Amino acid sequence: MTQEIKIGIAEDQTLFRHGLIQLLNELDGMQVIVEAENGQEFLDQLDENKIDVALLDYRMPVLNGTKTARELGLRHPDIKILFISMYNEEEFIISAIENGANGYITKDQDINEIELAIQSLMNTGYYMNDGTSSLIISNLLSNGRLSPTFNNKSNTLTDTEITVIKLICQEYRTSEIATMIHRGTRTVEGIRSNILKKIGAKNSSGIVMYAVKNGLIDL
């Protein structure tokens, strides 16, 4: 039996929040157990409620989405973060990911897209659809105006680490990567951790952005 994915939502638009909660709770294997109208209220509830995925709006009163994401990274680093926002401009997408988001989709997506995003976060650690990926790539190629910075240690990546980066970009799971490079799952997790430290990224989304920026994957 597949373990149920526990979800928290921070969204200040009441009708949208309640509608999304209803739709998610109707999906097999998913349950919304935390809801809040701002980031602070959301964080306060996590002391007593363990969730797997946080769905965050970008603009909220008291504590907005990016600040909430940063706090989640400090307090609950295991929680996957998905932004669901009305903004599809590259500035907002890049900012969300640099603040720790694992994925970003817009509010005009249907429930199937949201379900796919949540499943992808749980399986691969990140989610970017065609729309957000093209914006991120476009931004990274445009004069570095909003291009994220990485640690200088990135030039010490080993051949194995580069291989793992490429496989992460192809959305392979940790267990699949382990089989492909003939290593144990824990070893792959250790390699991924070393990659994050070397390049200064927070999660798999950062790894993908690094790979794009440095030409490790074909556009």
Look up the CATH number of the domain holding residue 63: 3.40.50.2300
Residue 212 within any structural domain of the chain = no
State whether 34 and 94 are in the same domain: yes
Residue 8 corresponds to which tokens in the numbers above?
């928290």
Query: pLDDT at position 188, please?
Result: 94
Query: pLDDT at position 1, please?
Result: 46
Residue 213 within any structural domain of the chain = no
Query: pLDDT at position 130, please?
Result: 61
State whether 78 and 173 are in the same domain: no
CA gap 195, 57 in Å, rounded: 29
| Residue among 206, 170, 196 at smallest CA distance from 94 | 206
Q: Are 141 and 215 in contact (CB under 8 A)?
A: no
CA gap 179, 184 in Å, rounded: 8
State whether 13 and 102 are in the same domain: yes
State whether 183 and 94 are in the same domain: no
State whether 29 and 122 are in the same domain: yes
State whether 57 and 114 are in the same domain: yes
pLDDT of the chain, 219 residues: tens digit per residue? 468 999 999 999 999 999 999 999 999 999 999 999 999 999 999 989 999 999 999 999 999 999 999 999 999 999 999 999 998 787 888 888 888 888 899 898 889 989 989 998 888 787 877 666 655 655 555 545 445 667 766 678 999 999 999 998 887 888 999 999 999 999 999 999 999 999 887 777 778 878 877 888 765
Residue 219 within any structural domain of the chain = no
107 burial level (CB within 10 Å; 0-12, 13-18, 19+): middle
Domain extent, residue 64, equals 5-140
Residue 20 within any structural domain of the chain = yes
pTM for the model stands at 0.72
Q: Are 165 and 138 in contact (CB under 8 A)?
A: no
Query: pLDDT at position 143, please?
Result: 45
Alpha helix locations (H) across the chain?
A: 14-25, 39-45, 65-75, 90-98, 111-124, 130-140, 159-169, 174-180, 185-199, 204-213
At residue 144, what are phi and psi to the nearest 5 degrees? 65, 25
State whether 192 and 94 are in the same domain: no
State whether 133 and 158 are in the same domain: no
Q: Which residues contact 33 (CB under 8 A, 6 or more apart)?
A: 6, 7, 8, 49, 51
CA gap 164, 159 in Å, rounded: 9
Query: pLDDT at position 132, please?
Result: 66
Domain count, the chain: 2
Residue 161 within any structural domain of the chain = yes
State whether 55 and 134 are in the same domain: yes
State whether 133 and 196 are in the same domain: no
Strand partners, 34: 8
